[in-house]
Structure 1
Amino acid sequence: MSVWLPVAPCTPDGCARHTGAVRAPLPAALLLLAGCALVLLGVACVPPALLLGPVPRGRLTRWWARAVPRAFGVRVSVRGPVPEAVTGGELVVANHISWLDIPLIASVLPGRTVAKSEIRHWPVLGPLAALGGTLFIERDRLRALPAAVREVAAALRSGSRVVAFPEGSTWCGRDGGAFRPAVFQAAIDAGATVRPVRIAYRTAEHRFGPASGAVAFVGSDPLAASLWRVVRAGGLTARVDVLAPIPVDGGDDRRALARRARAAVLGPQGPLRPRQTAVASDRANRPAESVHH
């Protein structure tokens, strides 16, 4: 492990538990099929979508990304001003809880996602991610960090929106990790605006606060187990708060900028008021690392 390869203390057995209403197996299975079908449809549409101009491609991306959480039975609430288009380079930074975070961000602020380099070699998804403009970084090699910062800065200078999860690992939402400063150096070098985004999840029994355990995708939690928890959980709602942009200039310090962004994203969320009615969880108990970056 290195400072560029953080590991969260969250584990599937300790965090990935849902307390609340549970959806019956048959409706849950139908949601799972619908959600997976929509994801595969999105994957198949990547090559033809690249033939579209930026505006229609962005609209298509938003439509698909909005549909994905709903297909898995998750309602979505968006708060804050959402810019219609990128007018200059913008670095979007958010807390990282679940695989759902990615379509949630794409539904509001579609952009080029920063991801670990291993994804490039995944069958089917790797080449498609590359076609979609994903920025791959080598997390386990500190010597590769300057080149990664330059690549992100170049994307920002070109006017692209870049999406990053600077905690570097998924957290269950009860706490959060430090925001790693490297990606903020890219924003400083490019003179790009930083746009903080806060993601939170709740169930019908809980007020917005620490994330519902159903969505927590932590550690080496099997994706299949995570998908099943999500569709079994009744009354899940995701909230995306688009926060005020943080202006950046060449005199900024990347660590101070990272702390400002973290304070905006991981501010007080209100109390959690649990009422247990049932539990849906998996039995995985392995240490944790995000698949994204």
Structure 2
Amino acid sequence: MIGSPWAALSPCTAACVTGEPPRSRAARALTARRYAAFVSTLAGAAAAGGRLQEGEELRRRARALLADLGVSLLGGTDGLAVPEPVTGVGTLVVANHISWLDALALLAVQPATLLAKREVARWPLVGPLVRRAGTRFIDRTGLRGLPETVRELGALLRSGETVIVFPEGTTWCSAPGGVFRRATFQAALDAGAPVRPVTLTYASQGVPSTLPAYVGEGTFTASFRRVAAARGLSVLVTAHPALRPEGHDRRSLAALAQEAVSGGRQGVAVPAPRRPSPTTARPGHHPAAGRPPHLPVRAP
């Protein structure tokens, strides 16, 4: 249903994806090794059971899966959640959407509850992982479940959880992409939660690349094969100053977040921390922690 706030359309097609990886015998051998490593890590994640929803376990598995595929995670040293020692609310992380790799990159930086379209649950390989990680799934083509989704997200934020959403509603081949849908920003307003805009950018051999993009009529399997065969692939996670919800409605908050993600505000690159944080008791929960000096929370 085109009129739904979740029924986003992207003009990007398979023609947008450039930089096909080599098809030599050595390349095929490398791809096979990466497949095997990825499946092995997934098997370990399945064996972890409920522990996968624990912060550091989820972060570790996501980082391992990126490494299995030869994808480097680039940036600084801190997570994306904004410590709220007084109110204890969580953070709504909003990012542009390019690839199925986006979720792994963000979870490798910040253990969180992920909001994803219901089709993701049926994807091969990745689908079972995100289900076990506690992902909330939505129907982006209908309005009926939207109010309940917003209420659920608000409750998660009030409980101290970090929630990751992709407000563009669909994938684009690069950043900036589409218009941010406003519905999920209502959850931040209802909970009084800060919003952390994040920009994801991909490169191959240090050059901006659309190779990881999952767009058009291509299948997940084809996209996965392309990523697994790539050389020198990297993802840069850039966190922008958090936005306070006070004084905003969801329209203005979404507009400010989109401005930040599309390059209107200076950001700080943020990768996965190098060692576990002893304060992370559950995904996105940060008991009384000091605010990172280089990731300020400032009023818009």
TM-score bin (small chain): 0.7 to 0.9
Between the aligned partners of 1:26 and 1:95, the Cα distance in structure 2 is 35
- Per the TM alignment, residue 35 of structure 1 is displaced from its structure 2 partner at its CA by 3.8
Asked if 2 retains the 8 angstrom alpha-carbon contact of 1:50 and 1:132, the reply is no
Q: Which moved more, 1:130-139 or 1:38-47?
A: 38-47
Cα distance in 2 for partners of 1:148, 1:183 equals: 8
- Give how far 1:148 is off: 1.1
Q: How does 1:52-201 map to 2 (within 5 A)?
A: 52=51, 57-79=54-76, 81-82=78-79, 87=84, 88-120=89-121, 129-173=130-174, 175-201=176-202
Q: Deviations over 1:219-245 (max 9, x none)?
A: 231122212322333322211112221
Q: Distance in 2 between matches of 1:62 and 1:86?
A: 18
Whole-Å separation in 1 of the counterparts to 2:22 and 2:9: 32
Give the whole-Å Cα distance in 2 for the aligned partners of 1:157 and 1:6: 28
Tell me the amino acid that sits aligned with residue 260 of structure 1: L
Is 1:8 the equivalent of 2:39?
no
> Alignment partner of 2:242: what SS?
coil
Aligned match of 1:236 in 229, 233, 236?
233
Which stretches in structure 2 are left out of the alignment for 5+ residues?
Answer: 266-300
Do the aligned residues in 1 keep the contact of 2:99 with 2:171 (CA within 8 Å)?
yes
Report the identity percentage. Answer: 41
Distance 1:36-1:192 versus aligned 2 partners, 3 A rule: farther
1:279 maps to none
**SS of aligned partner of 1:110:** coil
Partner of 1:40: 39
Instruction: Name the SS for the 1:266 alignment partner.
Output: helix
SS at match of 2:152: helix
Secondary structure at the counterpart of residue 29 of structure 1? helix
Rounded to whole Å, the distance in 2 between the matches of 1:186 and 1:45 is: 34
Higher RCO by CA contacts (8 Å cutoff, separation 6 or greater): 1
Matched, 1:265 2:261: yes
Q: Contact 2:81–2:91 at 8 Å: present in 1 too?
A: no
Shift of 1:70: 2.4
Q: Give the conservation status (yes or no) of the 8 Å contact 1:93–1:195.
A: yes
Equivalences, count: 259
- Give the SS at the match of 1:98: coil
Structure 1 unpaired stretches of 5+: 270-293
Q: Deviations over 1:148-202 (max 9, x none)?
A: 1111111111111111111000000164100100010111111111111111012
Aligned-residue CA RMSD (Å): 2.9
Contact 2:123 2:220 in 1 (8 A): no
Query: Which stretch shifts more, 77-86 or 260-269?
Result: 77-86
Q: Offset at 1:49?
A: 3.6
Distance 2:129 2:225 in 1: 25
Distance 1:247 1:32 in 2: 44
Change (3 A) 1:85 1:44: farther
- Paired with 2:97 and 2:70, the residues of 1 have a C-alpha distance of 20
Shift of 1:3: 2.9
Supply the distance in 1 between the matched residues of 2:52 and 2:198 (Cα, whole angstroms). 26
Residues 156, 30 of structure 1: alpha-carbon distance in 2 compared, 3 angstrom cutoff: farther
Query: Aligned partners of 1:70 and 1:127: how far apart in 2?
Result: 19
- Between 214-223 and 85-94, report the one with greater CA deviation: 85-94
Residues 110 and 38 (structure 1 numbering): CA distance in 2 closer, same or farther, change over 3 Å?
A: farther
Change in Cα spacing, 1:221 to 1:253, as seen in structure 2 (3 Å) is same
